[in-house]
Structure 1
Amino acid sequence: MHNYTSRVVWTGNTGEGTAHYKGYARTWDIAVPSKPVVHCSNDPLLGGDRGKMNPEDLLISALSACHMLWYLHYASEAGIVVTRYEDAPVGVGEVGKGGAGRFVSAELRPVIWVQAGADLGVAEAIHHRIHEVCFIARSVNFPVTYAPRFEWDA
């Protein structure tokens, strides 16, 4: 078993607490021991601060990062030399009746630079093994698809 801890501290008390629905900010800090504090807000669609991370940003980023780390691991084992990796994941959410929202899907769109001569078939196939081991992907209840693009390292 692994334990992951965090400290979430609401920073949005503007003086009256939650006495009025519009009288408080939806901001908080995430503090994990020995790591930089992350300042957060809710989704901008709900009046949040566009300059701060929101829970949806954090979830899709965690999903992408977990996938990337497993991809690099499996690529190394397969002899695929990756020299650069960037992803621009997209999570699709829906808002149901009553305002409750959820993710319905996510697509990871990594661009992966590999050394010349890499077997791109093997490089592509790695993506489809990761959902079996990625902690985050195994924890979400929506489908995750992959649309990788490969570039040759110059």
Structure 2
Amino acid sequence: MHEYTSRVVWTGNTGAGTAHYTAYARTWDIAVPGKPVVHCSNDPLLGGDPGKMNPEDLLLSALSACHMLWYLHYASEAGLIVTRYNDTPVAVAEVGKGGAGRFVSAQLRPVIGLALGADLAEAEAIHHRIHQVCFIARSVNFPVTYAAAYEIGG
């Protein structure tokens, strides 16, 4: 068993608390002991600060990072030398009646640098094993697809 902790502190009291809907800011800090504080806000579509991370950003980033870390692990086990890994994942969300939303899909789109002589079939096959082990991917209830591109050498 693994246990994770965090501290989420609302920073949006502008003086009147939650006296009414527009009286407060949708901002908070994530503070994990021993790590830098992350300043967050609501999605800009819901009045949040576009310069700060929102829960949707954090979930998509966690999904991508988890996939990347398992990819690097499996690549090293397979003797596949990865020299670069950059992902620009995209998630699609829908908003239902009453404002309730949910993710309906995500696509990871990594561009992976591989050493000369890399086995591209193995490089691709690794992606399809990760959903079985990644904590985040195993925890979401929407489909996650992969559209990887590879660059050989350099």
Give the aligned partner of residue 142 of structure 2.
142
Give the aligned partner of residue 72 of structure 1.
72
Give the aligned partner of residue 10 of structure 2.
10
Using the alignment, how far apart are the partners of 1:153 and 1:5 within structure 2?
A: 40
Give the aligned partner of residue 47 of structure 1.
47
Using the alignment, how far apart are the partners of 1:152 and 1:123 within structure 2?
A: 11
Give the aligned partner of residue 38 of structure 2.
38
The residue type paired with residue 43 of structure 2 is D
Q: Which digits, 9 at most, give the CA deviation of each residue in 1:100-139, with x for residues without a partner?
A: 0000000000000000100000000000000000000000
Matches within 5 A, 1:56-95: 56-95=56-95
The aligned length equals 154
Give the aligned partner of residue 118 of structure 1.
118
CA root-mean-square deviation:
0.4
Give the aligned partner of residue 130 of structure 2.
130
Q: Which digits, 9 at most, give the CA deviation of each residue in 1:12-32, with x for residues without a partner?
A: 000000001001000000000
Q: Which digits, 9 at most, give the CA deviation of each residue in 1:5-51, with x for residues without a partner?
A: 00000000000000010010000000000000000000000010000
Q: Shift in Å at residue 153 of structure 1?
A: 2.4
Report the TM-score, using the length of structure 1 for normalisation. 0.99
Percent identity of the aligned residues? 82
Q: Give 3-state SS (helix, strand or coil) of 2:88's partner.
A: coil
**Unaligned 5+ runs, structure 1:** none
* Off by >4 Å, runs of 4+ in structure 1: none
Report the TM-score, using the length of structure 2 for normalisation. 0.99
**Unaligned 5+ runs, structure 2:** none
